[in-house]
Structure 1
Amino acid sequence: MGTHFMLFSPPPLTKPHQPLHLATPPFPLPQRHYTASRKLIRANRVHSTSKFGNFLDLNPQNQPQALDFDLLWCHPSDRSRFDVIIIGAGPAGLRLAEQVSLYGVKVCCVDPQPLSVWPNNYGVWVDEFESLGLENCLDRTWPMACVYVNDGRTKYLDRSYGRVSKRKLKERLIEVCVSNGVRFHKAKAWQIEHQEFESTVLCDDGTELKGSLVVDASGFGSSFIAYDKVRNHGFQIAHGILAEVDDHPFDLDKMVLMDWRDSHLGNEPYLRVTNSRFPTFLYAMPFSSNLIFLEETSLVSRPVLSYMEVKKRMVARVRHLGIRVKRVLEDEKCLIPMGGPLPRIPQDVMAFGGTSGLVHPSTGYMVARTMTVAPVVAFAIAQCLGSTRMIRGKQLYDKVWNSMWPIENRLVREFYSFGMETLLKLDLKGTTSFFDAFFDLKPYYWQGFLSSRLTLKEVVSLSISLFGHASNPSRFDIVTKCPVPLAKMMGNIALEYIG
């Protein structure tokens, strides 16, 4: 699909004619940013509540209903042994179960609530889901996206964007799983024990499940995956609401990928100072003139930005935009660890999804990438466990892990992580200058970067081109603030080659 963007000053706002909602992970979070005195915070809270902060007190009115499916349950009396046991029935776990089961491999999926509807809002580029045959799992699309760099500069991206229908995607994945004989067990995986060619998953209901391969797709908080290096993640944190409003100023044919404008903080000096150092942006999906998804997002910070800080900035922004929230239909809190080291490769539990390093280190995107990688990993599993000559143990682990993380993919991820480390060094002005130059690249490059589909050579070309398109202040930022991340990236690349 031919894609281009248009760059010009934003038109006057006119009224027009929507990751993860994650439980806080059990591993310790770093100390958060606290930048104001208690007195200032207390005063700000009173001011917000009395004038415009009431929507934070509105309870979500939509209560998602569980799916109505007749699953094939795994009963303890069956004493069944499986080829693959997948822990987690999120998008990653179900997608892999669906793909592995296509080869006739015997699969069991373990989850405390396998039929519950995911609480997250997932956004994807439409071409990503079209290439996977999943376009019917989108409940709304926008022909264009826009990025507000600042109050005087807006970029319009001619690339369709869509919101994933959580119910449609889960129904589709479960339907295939059921038709292919995937068994489900309603419990929480408690412990994993390994023998040379077999592993046992102990569940909190006392059930023991045995299989040749255990895949952990339970999310960031997993304790089953081992790391050789310190997990120095960056963190993306956001607060989002699906709201019924009187009206809003956004065009219905454009989703707002990023709104970095800070004019809403003109009367909030303390918020403006902290936003200048640790910036947040608005991500918005306008469904109609009276229905919109709004999410205030910290792209990445280390340590994680205070959640209260994010909500205060969102309140100020919504007020400035003249949006009066009548009802909150859904709300969500996103906390996404980004970057950091990959798990130890290989190891006797296969990671997939959030805990496997598939999250884009510079953007936080994961769903489309997970949908894309699952068939590759499933094929590697089927080659080992779907053949008459069973390949198990260390050979199995090595083949499956390296199907997801071949050497080139690991090196490309180092460049993406370098992008994250660069963003961590930038303030609001530096960040907006970075994205101004980034979306000035040829569409092939910025689209490929956001979709994690560039080769190593292409990523290097993108980096050179980005430096060439950057403003002089941005080049100065790169030269002065990025030597340490650059040296770290080169060191990690050298270690990958040596390893």
Structure 2
Amino acid sequence: MVTTTVTLFTPPPPTKATLPSFPLPKTHYTSSSSCSSTSRRFRVRAYSNTSKFGNFLHLKPAHQPEPLDFDLPWCHPSDRSRFDVIIIGSGPAGTRLAEQVSRYGIKVCCVDPDPLSMWPNNYGVWVDEFESIDLEDCLDKTWPMACVYINERKTKYLDRGYGRVSRKKLKQKLIEGCVSNGVKFHKGKVWQIQHQEFESTVLCDDGTELRGSLIIDASGFASTFVEYDKARNHGFQIAHGILAEVDDHPFDLDKMVLMDWRDSHMGNEPYLRANNSKFPTFLYAMPFSSNLIFLEETSLVSRPVLSYMEVKKRMVARLRHLGIRVNKILEDEKCLIPMGGPLPRIPQNVMAIGGTSGIVHPSTGYMVARTMAVAPCVATAIAECLGSTRMIRGKQLYAKIWNSMWPIESKLNRQFYSFGMETLLKLDLNGSRRFFDAFFDLKPYYWQGFLSSRLNLKELAWLSISLFGHASNRSRLDIVTKCPAPLAKMMGNIALEYIR
């Protein structure tokens, strides 16, 4: 799935080397050998590994994203370097929160090595998610339906609009909001944060010191500024994606392909097929025209992470089988998204939003729509603390802001979504097919609510009961034999949250 990654910072220490707290994932190393109409939709073609339909990985992206042409208000010494809120990172999470917080007249500074650089990844969202937060004008392409290929014989059609986010439109809209509300920007990397009782100091690599009442880390998964009190036992979603000009492709132009679990493309690749049966990947595709398409081979979740080279080889075999000849790669991307695992220690004196905050959907990897939606709630809490009365600082401030993002209900719901991830980790290709066959047979309210993190704990319990009722006998056996351990872990974690 297309998901989001935020600009990463590796803060250089001033005197001695330190290792980042984010653990490098272990990798699965596996051996391997090297339509616009209904009739076209199921047309797959097998070709030998010729130059016409062979390996396209040697092609280099034809374009590099250009930075925004915008006159930013920079932080100057005359500002006395004192702010209410300092946000580290100007990815989607940081820029959205800066735009929202500054609406209340709060003095905000964004620190980033290149605030105007274009975000590198493609973001896909359900249209209704962006409509609900008035960002539908930031979608550059929408599809009225999505489809899921369960196998060669069965396809699910989902009556829910899907869209690709225009990174330029979204960033420009958020930056314009920031500028009009008085946000200042500083171009640099943060390498250290020093905390006092009611104020913190941000030290940048250029020697600049910025002081603020609240520091917010929106710098991404590799951040060392946010602390955890539990081992970060993430699952990992890894994907290789390309925006490509092609001769032709077999997908309908009015449907995006949410998941294609077919493995017929591995018929002449026995080692690839065997490995895919154990650690499956699927194709995610957004067709823009008959000759332009975004394609992404995705491992939904694995622990340890699947080899990136394995994912690329499977994509080559798949496109060759589908008869998709890649003439030019306009953009390419590599996604590695940590999923699930524990939340950061709550509260603590650095607030987090985006990748390092635990907001990534543990079962799907979706993040950008939820980040856009939660930022106004966090901004309201900040305004209540740092507004005109200027009364709430220090520990009270940190607790209120963290709890605005992670109230008890959201923590409990996340335990259920993590349970879903732990279950998916135990499923092979056939198990995954059976699971999603039953999942997309649920009432739209439930599967849509699950994917968009909108269900409460009671509704999630009903979803589980309904899913078991829709499942095949083999899928029920998977649930009975593979779910007890993740279920027990979830129940234990929910009990701990209630005790706290």
The normalised TM-score by structure 1 is: 0.93
Count residues with an aligned counterpart: 475
Q: Distance in 1 between matches of 2:325 and 2:116?
A: 35
Q: Distance in 2 between matches of 1:466 and 1:19?
A: 25
Does residue 1:212 correspond to 2:213, yes or no? yes
- Equivalence for 1:19: 3
Q: Distance in 1 between matches of 2:390 and 2:85?
A: 16
Deviations 1:77-107 (A, max 9, x none): 5322100000000000000000000100100
The one-letter code of the counterpart of 1:31 is K
- Equivalence for 1:32: 27
- Equivalence for 1:273: 274
Deviations 1:320-367 (A, max 9, x none): 000000000000000000000000000000010110010000000000
Compared CA separation, residues 180 and 271, structure 1 to 2 (3 A): same
- Contact residue 141 and residue 163 of structure 1 kept, 8 A: yes
CA RMSD of aligned residues (A): 1.5
Name the SS of the counterpart of 1:73 in structure 2: coil
Name the SS of the counterpart of 2:212 in structure 1: strand
After superposition, residues 182-261 of structure 1 pair within 5 angstroms as 182-261=183-262
Deviations 1:62-90 (A, max 9, x none): 12111011111002453221000000000
Q: How far apart are 1:455 and its partner, in Å?
A: 1.1
- Equivalence for 2:463: 462
Name the SS of the counterpart of 2:191 in structure 1: strand
- Equivalence for 1:337: 338
Q: Distance in 1 between matches of 2:146 and 2:57?
A: 27
- Equivalence for 1:97: 98
Q: Distance in 1 between matches of 2:49 and 2:241?
A: 18
Q: How far apart are 1:119 and its partner, in Å?
A: 0.8
After superposition, residues 102-113 of structure 1 pair within 5 angstroms as 102-113=103-114
- Equivalence for 1:127: 128
After superposition, residues 323-472 of structure 1 pair within 5 angstroms as 323-472=324-473
The one-letter code of the counterpart of 1:416 is Y
- Contact residue 22 and residue 334 of structure 1 kept, 8 A: no
Does residue 1:496 correspond to 2:491, yes or no? no
Compared CA separation, residues 295 and 117, structure 1 to 2 (3 A): same
Deviations 1:269-312 (A, max 9, x none): 00000000000000000000000000000000000000000000
- Equivalence for 1:293: 294
- Contact residue 20 and residue 335 of structure 1 kept, 8 A: no
Q: Distance in 1 between matches of 2:103 and 2:455?
A: 28
Q: Distance in 1 between matches of 2:80 and 2:219?
A: 24
- Contact residue 88 and residue 111 of structure 2 kept, 8 A: yes
- Contact residue 92 and residue 368 of structure 2 kept, 8 A: yes
- Equivalence for 1:487: 488
The normalised TM-score by structure 2 is: 0.93
Q: Distance in 2 between matches of 1:243 and 1:442?
A: 35
Q: Distance in 1 between matches of 2:269 and 2:6?
A: 30
Moved more, 405-414 or 50-59: 50-59
Q: Distance in 2 between matches of 1:277 and 1:51?
A: 30
Q: How far apart are 1:388 and its partner, in Å?
A: 1.2
Q: Distance in 2 between matches of 1:272 and 1:76?
A: 61
Compared CA separation, residues 371 and 23, structure 1 to 2 (3 A): closer
- Contact residue 143 and residue 161 of structure 1 kept, 8 A: yes
Q: Distance in 1 between matches of 2:250 and 2:121?
A: 25
- Contact residue 422 and residue 486 of structure 2 kept, 8 A: yes
Compared CA separation, residues 76 and 128, structure 1 to 2 (3 A): same
Compared CA separation, residues 424 and 48, structure 1 to 2 (3 A): farther
The one-letter code of the counterpart of 2:259 is M
- Contact residue 384 and residue 396 of structure 1 kept, 8 A: yes
Name the SS of the counterpart of 1:447 in structure 2: helix
Q: Distance in 2 between matches of 1:341 and 1:461?
A: 25
The one-letter code of the counterpart of 1:324 is R
- Contact residue 4 and residue 368 of structure 2 kept, 8 A: no
The one-letter code of the counterpart of 1:359 is V
- Contact residue 30 and residue 307 of structure 2 kept, 8 A: no
The one-letter code of the counterpart of 2:30 is T
- Structure 2 gaps, min length 5: 11-19, 35-47
- Structure 1 gaps, min length 5: 1-17
Q: How far apart are 1:389 and its partner, in Å?
A: 3.8
Moved more, 329-338 or 380-389: 380-389
Q: Distance in 1 between matches of 2:404 and 2:397?
A: 11
Compared CA separation, residues 142 and 456, structure 1 to 2 (3 A): same
Q: How far apart are 1:51 and its partner, in Å?
A: 7.2
- Contact residue 30 and residue 310 of structure 2 kept, 8 A: no
Q: How far apart are 1:53 and its partner, in Å?
A: 4.2
The one-letter code of the counterpart of 2:241 is G
Q: How far apart are 1:225 and its partner, in Å?
A: 0.5
Q: How far apart are 1:211 and its partner, in Å?
A: 0.2
Moved more, 382-391 or 443-452: 382-391
Q: Distance in 2 between matches of 1:81 and 1:23?
A: 24
Moved more, 474-483 or 156-165: 474-483
Q: Distance in 2 between matches of 1:160 and 1:401?
A: 33
Q: How far apart are 1:413 and its partner, in Å?
A: 0.3
* Runs of 4+ residues over 3 Å off in structure 1: 18-26, 47-54
Deviations 1:406-458 (A, max 9, x none): 00110000000000000000000000100000000000000000001111111
- Contact residue 233 and residue 341 of structure 2 kept, 8 A: yes
- Contact residue 76 and residue 207 of structure 1 kept, 8 A: no
Q: Distance in 1 between matches of 2:369 and 2:466?
A: 26
The one-letter code of the counterpart of 2:301 is V
Deviations 1:151-188 (A, max 9, x none): 00000001000000000000000000000000000001
Q: Distance in 1 between matches of 2:194 and 2:6?
A: 27
Q: Distance in 1 between matches of 2:411 and 2:58?
A: 44
Q: Distance in 2 between matches of 1:199 and 1:89?
A: 20
Name the SS of the counterpart of 1:334 in structure 2: strand
Q: Distance in 2 between matches of 1:279 and 1:23?
A: 28
- Contact residue 376 and residue 404 of structure 1 kept, 8 A: yes
Q: Distance in 1 between matches of 2:326 and 2:4?
A: 22
